[in-house]
Amino acid sequence: MNFLSKYILLIAACFVGIGFSAYMGFSLYEKESKVIEQDFRKDVDDKAAALEREILLNIEVLYAIKGLFDSSSEVTSQEFSRIARSFLVRHHDIQALEWVPKVTSDQREAFEAAQRRESPGFEIIESEVEGMISASQRESYFPVSYVAPFIGNEQILGYDLASNEERLWIMERATDLDKPLSTSGVSLSSYQSKQRGFIIFLPTYHGEPSTLFKRREQLRGFVVGVYRIDDMFGSAIKRTSVQGLYFSLEDNTYETVSNLYSNFPEGGTTLLSQTAFIYKKSLTAFSGRQWSITAVPSAGYVAERRGRLPYIIAILGSLLVLLGALYIYALMRRSALIEREVKQRTHDLNEAKQKLEALSQTDSLTKISNRRCFDESLQACWQHAIREKSSIGLIMIDIDHFKLYNDTYGHLAGDQCLREVASALNQTLNRKTDLVARYGGEEFVVLLPHTRDCISPAKRCQINIEQLALPHESSPTSEYVTVSVGVTSICPDKCSDMQAFTAEADRALYQAKKSGRNRVQVFEHERTEQAVAVVNQA
């Protein structure tokens, strides 16, 4: 087993040990979380039960007041206020208790006159954009006749609840069912309260009607309770000992969910997405409404129920594993140092080998690939093209009248010319797979894998070399250094001859020189092996 394998085994054993310690700690953490979640759900259930009791107690208040009207054909405002005050003292979440009689259009004038004896200026009113106005003519009215407490709710006196379509519909259903029914969450601004609330209507009748028709016929009015949701929820929470929970109260009676109350801090949506404990509980249906509570614990609630044992086990276990790993590491250190020394020497040898290989494949003058590198690359590219059934392009380039250039400017200038031409060719090609090599003397070759159209890169090579503007006064072709270019391409198969392919490019180059130089020639395969097409002179 080599040193690397030993280190891998040591690290693996270390990770396994730390992982096992973390797993044990996490298992205890999960068990603890389940216990916390059970306690959390129980606490929420307790608060939900307290809220349900509070709602039922408030409904019982309406039944108690209904009993007063059922037992007497005439209930005065003093009697109503006296019994209402006895309940208001104990139920601080009640905004108002109201008596709302049914008044037909024929009875309206007499009813308003009777009410003015106790409340001067009384009239049946309804709400409009500009405020309270006298109620318009309709078949029947349901005005607020008695309200307790009176202070703070004065402006609601005389308000016709039938002027609101939703409340009228609820009153009609309550009449038909002979059951208390509640509105959805409503604003209590008309009661001079900033809280949201809900209103419960409990119908009373003349006598004891037993059929739907008789209930509508004998409807006397409604005992109405107006409740503040925030105070009701707060009262229910205070009756339980556990704190540190966030609640949201929703009305799920219909498809559209309405939020009635929330004590979430700012960023409540973020809180819901981050906590692991979210509990939604549906309350017992009441007065035709279905409410539900969504609860999440605060960070403090969870923290005070968390123990340290899971963290201690995870940390101590990990420390023991690390100490053991360090001890083994100390034993292996000497052999590791020797191994690193061997690797360093091997690396130096390999680096020297790579440099030698690079030197053997690089032209010493132009610093581009040499003939050997080209031959090896062509062989590899040829085999790859046969396997992949792809094409290869080959460009051969010769500097025009280079011997005259050397005779005119000297061999040092000739060497510099070769370097600049090689650099221009290298910069012309954009793909990493393309190869520029010095083929010999003043000849260069360009290998283009996966290329059929070699004319465009060939012309770019010709143009870029001419743009170097290297003076060549002795050239009969141009006053600057120019090149002749031979181009060919092939999609080889197993029967193709690589040497013949190279010869095709060489023939095209020969034809370019024969045709006057400073031009690109493409070898044609279609008619004869000797056919050559002339491309526009650059």
Q: What is the DSSP string of 230-288?
A: HHHHHHHHHTSS---EEEEEEE-SSSS-EEEEE---TTHHHHHHH-S--EEEEPPPBTT
Q: Is 80 a residue whose pLDDT tops 90? A: yes
The per-residue pLDDT for range 348-390, each reduced to its tens digit, is: 888 888 888 777 889 989 999 999 999 999 999 999 999 999 9
- Same domain for 315 and 385? no
Residue 366 maps to a domain: no
Residues 219 and 271 in one domain: yes
> For residue 137, what is the domain's CATH number?
3.30.450.350
Domain for residue 356, yes or no? yes
Total number of domains constituting the chain: 2
* Same-domain status, 450 and 316: no
User: Are residues 285 and 150 both part of a single domain?
Assistant: yes
Residue 82 lies in a domain: yes
142 in the same domain as 61:
yes
**Token pair in block for residue 526:** 């279609």
pLDDT at residue number 130? 72
Same domain, 313 and 416: no
Please state, rounded to an integer, the average pLDDT across all residues of the chain. Answer: 88
* 434 found inside a domain: yes
Q: 242 with 206: CB under 8 angstroms?
A: no
Q: Which residues contact 72 (CB under 8 A, 6 or more apart)?
A: 79
Residue ending a domain, choose from 360, 381, 413: 360
Q: What are phi and psi of 217, to 5 degrees?
A: -70, -40
Residues 424 and 282 in one domain: no
Residue 28 lies in a domain: yes
Q: Is the pLDDT of residue 536 over 80?
A: no
Q: State pLDDT tens for residues 206-258.
A: 999 989 999 999 999 999 999 999 888 887 776 555 677 888 899 999 888 88
| Least confidently predicted of 7-16, 214-223, 521-530 | 521-530
Region of residue 266 (phi > 0: left; psi between -120 and 50: alpha; otherwise: beta): beta
The pLDDT of residue 532: 46
Same domain, yes or no: 317 and 378: no
Place of tokens 């034993």: 331
Residue 195 has pLDDT above 70, yes or no: yes
Residue 267 has pLDDT above 80, yes or no: no
Same domain? 339 vs 380: no
For the cut 90, the answer to whether the pLDDT of residue 423 exceeds it is: yes
Which of these three, 360, 389, 421, is where a domain ends?
360
The boundaries of the domain holding residue 507 are 371-534
My answer on whether 79 and 204 are in the same domain is yes
Residues forming the active site = 442
- 272 shares a domain with 377: no
Q: Is 124 helix (H, G, I), strand (E, B) or coil?
A: coil
- Residue 365 forms part of a structural domain: no
Q: HSE-up of 499 (CA within 13 Å, CB side)?
A: 0
Cα separation values, 17 from 6, 9, 26, Å = 16, 12, 14
Q: Are 224 and 159 in contact (CB under 8 A)?
A: no
**Mean pLDDT, rounded, for 516-529:** 75
Q: How far apart are CA 442 and CA 435, in angstroms?
A: 17
Residue 288 has pLDDT above 60, yes or no: yes
Q: Which two tokens stand for residue 64?
A: 């108690």
On whether residue 460 sits in a domain, the answer given is: yes
Distance CA 346, CA 340 (A): 10
The pLDDT of residue 525: 61
User: What pLDDT shows up at residue 530?
Assistant: 41
Joined tokens for residue 13:
């054993």
Predicted pLDDT at 302: 84
Indicate the residue type of 271: L
Q: Is residue 306 part of a domain?
A: yes
Confidence class for position 527, pLDDT limits 50, 70, 90:
very low
**Which residue among 360, 391, 407 closes a domain?**
360
Report the CATH number at residue 410: 3.30.70.270
Residues 139 and 226 in one domain: yes
With a cut of 60, say whether residue 538 has pLDDT above it.
Answer: no
**pLDDT tens digits for 125-167?**
998 877 788 888 999 999 999 999 988 888 889 999 989 899 9
